[in-house]
């Protein structure tokens, strides 16, 4: 007769197998669209339409989609716009969020608590609620649309609350007050203490905020499409709309443009991935 221990071990083994199967199914579901892009980017339009799952099309292997896509969407100009907006937005978000979180954590002022509460509350407000008033204010009243600086300002404003929340937890957990007291004894003022002691200890959180916000800014379509009306200011997500016609769409060029758009973020993630988990969990337990 099967003992309780043997039954528990068998149930645990079955649960482990089912968990692996479930994770495998989810992995395939998530990776399948990316697989389709990789496979079809090297085919002509007729092969993609006739058999999108074939590894090689009947007309053979082609690289022509890449130069055609780059030329049609003016890739390097769009890439430059996306790079400028993403880098500056991410930089100012990290800079302002880290300093704001430090002030809130290290001061027991009621104003700091109220500000932090408002920032956390603002995280639940969807962008779509503010979309029309925002465009009406900056475009109709102030006339500040169609500028990179306006889009950077909006990106920083919308991402600052989440970044401050993450830095707040990291400073609370990973930066002992004793280090700052020792720095003060050695002659450092608050400004020097922050940059020389506190900020270097926030590297995991900085990397996490950088990858999360850079991905959001780089891939964002809705906000840039509302702000940037001039073609010379288009980012990569907006520039890809030139491939979608009223009656036909060249899927091969779309796939090539999507792959070119993904590469910078994939490269950034590869370099920062070891900080991601550590940064996300930083501040979770005090």
> pLDDT: is 139 or 240 the higher one?
240
The answer, yes or no, to whether residue 93 has pLDDT greater than 90, is yes
Tell me the pTM: 0.80
Confidence of residue 245 (pLDDT cuts 50, 70, 90): low
**What does the pLDDT read at residue 278?**
61
* Whole-angstrom distance, CA of residue 167 vs CA of residue 173: 10
What is the arithmetic mean of pLDDT over 71-85?
89
- Angle (CA) 194 181 92, round 5°: 10
What is the arithmetic mean of pLDDT over 123-149?
80
What is the arithmetic mean of pLDDT over 159-187?
86
**What does the pLDDT read at residue 2?**
57
What percent of the chain shows pLDDT beyond 70? 92
**What does the pLDDT read at residue 26?**
93
What is the arithmetic mean of pLDDT over 52-74?
81
The answer, yes or no, to whether residue 203 has pLDDT greater than 80, is yes
**Contact predicate 276/205, CB 8 Å:** no
Which of 83, 79, 68 has its CA nearest to residue 255? 68
The answer, yes or no, to whether residue 186 has pLDDT greater than 50, is yes
Phi-psi region of 227 (alpha: psi -120 to 50; beta: other; left: phi over 0): alpha
The answer, yes or no, to whether residue 270 has pLDDT greater than 90, is no
The answer, yes or no, to whether residue 144 has pLDDT greater than 70, is yes
**What does the pLDDT read at residue 97?**
93
Phi-psi region of 249 (alpha: psi -120 to 50; beta: other; left: phi over 0): beta
Which DSSP symbol is given to 122?
H
What is the arithmetic mean of pLDDT over 170-192?
84
The answer, yes or no, to whether residue 251 has pLDDT greater than 70, is yes
Q: Residue 52 in 3-state DSSP?
A: coil
């Amino acid at each position: 007769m099967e003992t309780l221990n043997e039954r528990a071990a068998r149930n645990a083994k079955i649960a482990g197998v089912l968990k692996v199967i479930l994770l495998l199914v989810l992995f395939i579901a998530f990776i399948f669209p990316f697989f389709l892009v990789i496979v079809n980017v090297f085919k002509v339009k007729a092969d993609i339409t006739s058999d999108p799952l074939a590894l090689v099309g009947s007309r053979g292997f082609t690289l022509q989609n890449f130069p055609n896509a780059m030329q049609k969407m003016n890739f390097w100009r769009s890439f430059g716009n996306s790079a400028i907006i993403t880098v500056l937005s991410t930089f100012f978000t990290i800079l302002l969020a880290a300093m704001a979180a430090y002030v809130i954590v290290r001061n027991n002022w009621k104003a700091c608590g109220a500000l932090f509460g408002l920032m956390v509350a603002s995280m639940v407000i969807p962008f779509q609620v503010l979309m029309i008033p925002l465009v009406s204010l900056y475009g109709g009243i102030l006339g500040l649309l169609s500028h990179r600086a306006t889009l950077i300002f909006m990106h920083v404003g919308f991402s600052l609350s989440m970044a401050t929340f993450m830095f707040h937890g990291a400073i609370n957990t990973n930066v002992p007050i004793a280090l700052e007291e020792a720095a003060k004894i050695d002659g450092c003022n608050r400004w020097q203490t922050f940059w020389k002691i506190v900020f270097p200890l926030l590297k995991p959180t900085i990397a996490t905020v950088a990858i999360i916000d850079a991905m959001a800014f780089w891939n964002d379509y809705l906000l840039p499409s509302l702000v940037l009306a001039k073609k010379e200011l288009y980012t990569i997500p907006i520039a890809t709309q030139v491939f979608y016609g009223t009656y036909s769409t060249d899927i091969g060029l779309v796939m090539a443009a999507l792959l070119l758009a993904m590469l910078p973020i994939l490269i950034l993630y590869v370099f920062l991935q070891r900080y991601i988990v550590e940064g996300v969990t930083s501040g979770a337990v005090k």
